[in-house]
Structure formats: C-alpha cells, structure tokens
C-alpha cells in the first residue's frame, strides 16, 4: 500500500468519529435548547425518529461509498490535478489556514448551487422541510445530497492538492459547528453580533431556514460568515423578527408529509403547483 492510499485510509478511519461527536453534541446542545430556546416550538413526537432515520440512511450510503469507491474517485480526480497547495513553500500554518478557508468556500459554493439548480434543490430541500429547526436539523440531509457534497468537495480538494489532514480537521470542526448553527438557542445579542463577524451563528443560520424566499436564499455560509458579506447574500435579521420567524418551505415545495419515506422520495416526485 502506498503512502497516499494509507493517508486516505487513515482519513476514512478518523471520519467515523464524527458520528460519535454528533451524538455527543446533540446530548450537550439539547439541554441548552431547553434552557435558553429562541423559539418555543412543540415538535411532533415522530420528528426526532424521522430525522434519525434519514441521517442513518445518509451515513450508510456515504460509508458504503467511502469503503468501496473512495480511493478510485480520488485516483480519478488526480488526473485533473492542477496544483498542489500542500507542496508549496509556504509555512505549514499558512497552508492549513488557506486550505480551511478554501474548503469552507467550496461548501458555501455547493450550498448556493443547491439552491440554484433544480435537481440539487430537490435533494437539499428536505433539509429545509423541517419546520422546527434545532441541532437535530443539522443531520437532516438526503443521502444523495451527502454523496454529492462529498464528491464536490473531494474533487476540488484533489485538483488543488489540499492536504488530507486539513480536510479531516475541517470535517470535524464543521460537524460540531453545524450542530451549533442549527441549535434553537438564544445567545446574548452582543455576543452574537461579535462572533458573527467571523462565524455563522444560530440566529444567522435560522434566517436561512425562513419560509420567506429572500431570507431562505441568504446566509449560505457553513463555518465562516464573511463569504455571505463578500458575495452579497448576507441578511442580518428575518423581517418577522427573530422570535416570530416562520421556518420551512412554501406550500408548493413541501414534501407530502414529514415522514422518512416521503422525505427520501421527495426528490423524485413530480413538482406540484
Ligand atoms: Zn440551504
């Protein structure tokens, strides 16, 4: 086994820990959501199970992909390599900082594409179908969307020669931060205003889950909040005010029901209205 393949296998082994992290954070964030909730929703009893079912399906598909076709995908993408950031003469810290910014920009771009292109939107919209956004929503993604985003980010990381460890690091931080941005918590507003210059906050991301079209198409950032300010997609507050925001999809975009079957089949259904 050559060192490159070894590195990839090492990455796969590290990647499995994210699901334990996810579980831990759901357990850590959940008490705060009870203590300092932003919205006082009463969620349907089945909601948690539906999300868990979809998340496990996505996890299984990504796991199958990683253990069967991952190395082949990387080998294929290597044919298109343009550049290798990891082989430049810059200090290691600079290479890593630049790589993390670059991966975050890829995530931001993929998120925008997911709202612009019809088929990607059909996949991504099930994430927006949740009308009770909290930390659990962070793991609600269609299995095919998860595969598409893994391939998208992997492709650009390979063609630009991003160090594998930067990808591992980003994935771990993004997993934790993703649960934080979806958390139904009310941070002190002064604190939110300071940290949102750098990272996406729960209030900022909740605006992205608004049913209002302009708000649902704003605040695409994953970890860093400045991409939205730079590309003009930043919306500071929902027009309804933070406490009265309506979350989810417009009537003609909604899946027929919030069940596992309906969410998983949603991308293949004929569009209504
Ligand atoms: Zn979105």
Splitting the chain (273 residues) into consecutive groups of 10 residues, what average pLDDT does each group show?
Answer: 63 63 78 91 89 92 85 88 88 94 97 96 96 93 95 93 88 89 95 97 97 95 97 96 93 92 92 59
Are 47 and 203 in contact by the 8 Å Cβ rule? The answer is: no
83 CA from centroid of ligand 1 (Å): 30
Element at 70 (helix H, strand E): helix 70-78
Q: What is the reported pLDDT for 74? A: 86
Say how many Å lie between the CA of residue 127 and the centre of ligand 1. 7
Query: How far away, in angstroms, is 205 Cα from ligand 1 center?
Result: 9
187 vs 184: CA distance, rounded Å: 10
CB atoms within 10 A of CB 235: 18
- 162 SS3 class: coil
Q: Report the interhelical angle of 143-160 vs 70-78 (nearest 10°).
A: 40
Find the 24 Cα to ligand 1 centroid distance in Å: 24
Residue 5's pLDDT is 62
Q: Which residues of 94-118 are buried (b: 16+ CB within 10 A; e: fewer)?
A: ebbeebbebbbbbbbbbbbbbbeee
In angstroms, rounded to a whole number, what is the distance separating the alpha carbons of residues 160 and 162? 6
Cα of 189 to ligand 1 centre, how many Å? Answer: 24
What distance in angstroms lies between residue 79's CA and the mean position of ligand 1's atoms?
A: 31
How many angstroms separate the alpha carbon of residue 1 from the centre of ligand 1?
40
| C-alpha of residue 217 to centroid of ligand 1, in Å | 7
Nearest to 228, CA basis, from 145, 135, 112, 128: 112
CA of 228 to the centre of ligand 1 (A): 13
Between the CA of 170 and the centroid of ligand 1 the distance, in Å, is 19
Per DSSP, the three-state class of 270 is coil
Q: How far apart are CA 196 and CA 97, in angstroms?
A: 19
**Rounded (5°) CA angle 206-18-88:** 95
Centre of ligand 1 to C-alpha 108, Å, is 10
For residue 183, the model assigns a pLDDT of 94
Q: Are 184 and 133 in contact (CB under 8 A)?
A: yes
How many helices (H) and strands (E) would you count in the chain? 13, 0
Say what the pLDDT of residue 4 is: 67
User: Smallest Cα–Cα separation from 209: which of 240, 170, 176?
Assistant: 240
Q: What is the CA radius of gyration of the chain?
A: 19
Q: How many angstroms is it from 180 CA to the middle of ligand 1?
A: 16
- Ligand 1 mean position to 11 CA, how many Å? 27
Phi, psi of 210 (to 5 degrees): -65, 150
> What 3-state DSSP class applies to 68?
helix
**What DSSP element (H or E) covers 101?**
helix 92-116
What is the widest separation between alpha-carbon atoms in the chain? Answer: 57
pLDDT at residue 1, rounded to an integer: 45
């Amino acid at each position: 086994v050559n060192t490159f393949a070894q590195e990839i296998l090492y990455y796969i082994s590290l990647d499995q820990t994210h699901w334990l992290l996810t579980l831990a954070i759901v357990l850590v964030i959940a008490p705060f959501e009870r203590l300092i909730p932003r919205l006082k929703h009463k969620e349907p009893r089945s909601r948690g199970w539906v999300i868990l079912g979809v998340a496990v399906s996505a996890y299984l598909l990504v796991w199958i992909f990683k253990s069967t076709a991952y190395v082949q995908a990387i080998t294929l993408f290597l044919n298109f390599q343009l550049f290798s950031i990891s082989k430049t003469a810059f200090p290691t810290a600079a290479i890593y900082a630049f790589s993390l910014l670059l991966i975050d920009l890829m995530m931001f771009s993929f998120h925008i594409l997911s709202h612009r292109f019809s088929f990607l939107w059909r996949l991504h919209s099930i994430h927006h179908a949740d009308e009770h956004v909290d930390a659990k929503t962070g793991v609600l993604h269609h299995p095919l969307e998860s595969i598409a985003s893994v391939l998208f980010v992997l492709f650009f990381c390979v063609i630009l020669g991003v160090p594998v460890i930067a990808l591992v690091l980003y994935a771990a931080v993004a997993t934790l931060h993703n649960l934080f941005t979806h958390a139904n918590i009310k941070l002190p507003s002064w604190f939110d205003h300071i940290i949102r210059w750098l990272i996406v906050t729960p209030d900022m991301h909740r605006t992205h889950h608004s049913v209002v079209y302009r708000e649902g198409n704003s605040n695409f950032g994953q970890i860093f909040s400045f991409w939205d300010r730079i590309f003009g997609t930043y919306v500071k507050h929902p027009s309804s005010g933070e406490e009265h925001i309506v979350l989810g999809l417009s009537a003609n975009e909604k899946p027929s029901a919030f069940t596992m079957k309906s969410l998983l089949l949603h991308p293949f259904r004929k569009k209504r209205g």
